Structures are given as C-alpha cells and as structure tokens.
Amino acid sequence: MKRSLLAAGILLTCLFSAPAGAQGNSQAKPKITSVTLTPQMAAMLPSQCVRFTAVALDNKGKPVPGATFTWNFGNAPWFTAGQPGEVCVPSSFQGAGNASLSVNADGSTAAAYGTLLAVEVPATSYTSPTLNPGGCMASAISAKDGSGATISNPPITWIVGGAQAANFKVTYTDVLKVCAVSPLAVHSFATMTYLVTSTGEAKSMMLEAAP
C-alpha cells in the first residue's frame, strides 16, 4: 500500500512539473481588428515634429501587445520621418501643405488614418491687444473658395508657439477666440499661426498677456 501511494506521489509530481509546452500549445496571439491613432490631426511649423501613438485592438477592443506598426504619409515632400511614429517638417519649408497619415498593424488590413498640416509662419503678422488674466479677444475668419465665394465658418487649425504658449487658450466655433489663462504669473508672449485648411491660407498673430 505504501509503495502504491509513493508511486502515485511521484507520478503527480512529474505531471505538475512537466514543461508548459508538454501540456498543450500556448494561446494564440489575438487577431488585430482595429487600430487607434493619437492625435488624429497635427499642425506643424518648420523644424517642428509630432510623435503619433498607435494602439492595436482585438475584436473586444482590448490592446494587443507586441504589435508592429507600419507608418506611411505618401510622398509629401514637406514631411520627413523621424523615430517610428514621428513626423517632422523641414526647417526650409515654405508655404502650406497637407498629407494623409496611415498606420497598419502587423501587416493586417486594420489601419488608422490621420491628417498632417504644415504651415510657414507668414511674413506679415499683427499683434493682438494685451490681454488681462482671463481676458479674451475674438476674430472672425473670412475665406473664399476657388470661385471667389465666401466660405462661412471655414475649417481652420492653429498652432501656438513659444516658451509661454501654455498661458494662452484658443477655441474656434464661428469666431477664433484667444484667452489668457487666469491666474497669470508672468508677462507672456506667444505666436499663433492659423491655417484655413480648405484654402491653404495662413496668417500669424503675436499674442501678449500681462498680469
């Protein structure tokens, strides 16, 4: 009887200590069904770069680890690739340009798409009134299409640059609204460039806010 129990104990020990591969195949990698991209749109000035982040998801919306991504933004000459997911605008860029960005995961058909915009700071710019903390200014945006007709509420994108850019907040609905943050600790300056995406027209504005 003791020999039987001892033999059974040895058998159980062998079963539990067997390599994982001997007990069955490892779980297959989930199939990638979609890809998310952050941000979905980026506007850049010359010499600026933006890093995009892609996440592969399975059919339950859960991230699939270890996915390899392939990035593509066509042959647009005004963009260059940096590190994986990074897009830059050359310092020599002039004018305005755009391109579509796509990213695929593990060579599958699952992909995400974004928009890239490049704009040169216009030579002509104007200075906004000095804003108080929490103060705002609004500016109507006018643009014309190819036939010369006025575009109502044209789609625009904007870039606020400079060391103190975080002290200004920009929103756009029917007008472009720029506000200084409150509280405001220091006298602040920044440059805002906006681009009418449907026409490629760009303008620049110097922003100033004082405590």
Domain that holds residue 98: 34-119
Residues making up the chain, counted from first to last: 211
Examine the domain organization and report whether 93 and 75 are in the same domain: yes
Examine the domain organization and report whether 88 and 112 are in the same domain: yes
Query: DSSP 3-state assignment of 8?
Result: helix
> What's the pLDDT tens digit per position in 107-130?
888 888 888 877 776 655 667 789
Flag whether 138 is in a domain: yes
Which is more confidently placed, 195 or 27? 195
Lookup: tokens for 105: 């995961």
Give the whole-angstrom CA distance, residue 97 versus residue 42.
12
Which is more confidently placed, 8 or 76? 76
Exposed, middle or buried, 145 (CB in 10 Å: 0-12/13-18/19+)? Answer: exposed
> What's the pLDDT tens digit per position in 36-47?
999 887 878 788
105: domain CATH number? Answer: 2.60.40.10
Flag whether 17 is in a domain: no
Q: Where are the alpha helices (DSSP H) in the chain?
A: 2-16
Which is more confidently placed, 60 or 118? 60
- Residue 141 confidence (pLDDT) above 50: yes
Beta strands in the chain (DSSP E): 34-38, 41-44, 49-51, 53-57, 69-72, 80-81, 86-88, 96-105, 111-119, 125-127, 136-139, 143-144, 150-151, 156-161, 168-172, 176-180, 188-196, 201-209
Examine the domain organization and report whether 114 and 59 are in the same domain: yes
Lookup: tokens for 206: 């110097």
Query: How many domains are contained in the chain?
Result: 2
Give me the long-range contacts of 184-188 (CB less than 8 A, separation at least 24). 184/133, 184/209, 184/210, 184/211, 185/211, 186/211, 187/211, 188/164
Average pLDDT (167-173) is 92
Average of per-residue pLDDT values in the chain: 79
